Amino acid sequence: MTRHTTRALLGGGAMLVTATLGLTACGSGFSGGDDTASGEFTSSDDALTILIGSSGEAETAAVEDAVAAWSAESGVDAKVQVANDLPQQLSQGFAAGTPADLFYLATEALAGYAGNGSLKAYGDQLENKDDFYPSLVQNFTYDDEFYCAPKDFSTLQLIINKGLWDAAGLTDADIPTTWDELATVAATLTKDGVTGLSFGPEYQRIGAFMAQAGGKLVSENGTEAVADSAENVEALTFVQEQLAAGTFAYASDLGAGWGGEALGKQLSAMTIEGNWITGAMTNDFPEVDYTVAELPAGPEGKGTMQFTNCWGMAADSPNQKAALDLVEYLTSAEQQLAFSEAFGPMPSVESAADDWTAANPELSAFLAGADYAQGVPTNDGVTAVISDFNAQLEGLKTGDPQQILDTVQGNLEAVVG
């Protein structure tokens, strides 16, 4: 997943809420519902349409080239369409009864589209189904069915401005491995108008601390809201204390649009971001030297968040057999490594891990996070809950962590129940 795609996914709360709330109206009356349950696949001579949300020319060209290569090999015509607003255009396609055959699908959109019969559940039919990271498979499992192949993924880790780190007299031995050590180095780095650590005022960043404390929003099986746990209170309290001390800060409070900008402009010495930051640093801040380390462990050990999209398949697609073959081609280790080289995402299959790490040793911390990463809940309606949670987190510095989480708990219970 690239910087632009992920920031749109995580930052466009209103857009995603609108798309999510519209799901229940978009899937009624589709003929593909029975096929989805039976596991049968449609077949025809129809061309395939692939709808993507692209981070830029590099991603668009890479996907177009890969689809063209598959098309030439398979003999099936296929065309890539780049969406200006993926959630909206995907919703409109379903509403009109003319969805793309394949499309980028975010985790938070899965339950709504799966629940109304818009999607084909094809995951268990993939020849490479056992190669995907288990946590990614879980992200796209609904009602015990593996719906769609994760196309790539990213995790959050600690990105350090090397120049500011060295200037503060810190070395590799000082890279924090615990919360206490993180607080200490953040305090050391906070001087001369620079804040030690910055990140976005949102669950999609602060949730990493919750995971490190052993907390989450929804239980592992997705059936119980657990937002108001003592573990989550401990995580928010730790972040609050550092915000109050001035050693942590929200990127927006530093005058930056996101953590990568705060790091690049040297408004903060460290940030918490995903591997999409690499493109931004190369393009926007090429003079800034940085290093990537795993986030420090919390009271319950290592923890981070992961973000991913899958290749969704329309239940109404008239050529699902060809679509399945194309997905297997696009998610092969070889093709995912080619995508990674072209525009930066991490492969979603374990068989590509060694090659990816060898090609990107300086980014290996991101891939290490796959072993302990926590995904965003996928319950239908959770996007609106998280949007409200983010609004409350903006006031965490002077707020009441328990009260904030109690509100989230109540909102989640309405969704999960």
Q: Is residue 329 classed exposed, middle or buried when 0-12, 13-18 and 19+ CB atoms within 10 A define those classes?
A: middle
Whether pLDDT at 352 is above 90: yes
For 205-229, write each residue's pLDDT tens digit. Answer: 999 999 999 999 999 888 999 999 9
Quote the pLDDT of residue 221.
85
174's torsion region: left (phi>0), alpha (psi -120 to 50) or beta?
alpha
* pTM confidence score: 0.84
Domain 3-154+306-375: state its class: alpha beta
CA distances from 16 to 149, 202, 211, 271, 384 (A): 21, 15, 24, 25, 8
CATH entry 3.40.190.10 includes domain 156-305+378-416: yes
For 328-342, write each residue's pLDDT tens digit. Answer: 999 999 999 999 999
Domain with CATH 3.40.190.10 in the chain: 3-154+306-375, 156-305+378-416
Gap between the Cα atoms of 4 and 278, Å rounded: 12
Quote the pLDDT of residue 39.
64
The number of angstroms, rounded, from the C-alpha of 313 to the middle of its chain's C-alpha atoms is 19
Inter-residue contact 106 to 311 (CB < 8 Å)? no
Gap between the Cα atoms of 325 and 332, Å rounded: 11
Gap between the Cα atoms of 136 and 129, Å rounded: 11
Identify the band that residue 108 occupies on the pLDDT scale cut at 50, 70 and 90. Answer: confident
Inter-residue contact 248 to 268 (CB < 8 Å)? no
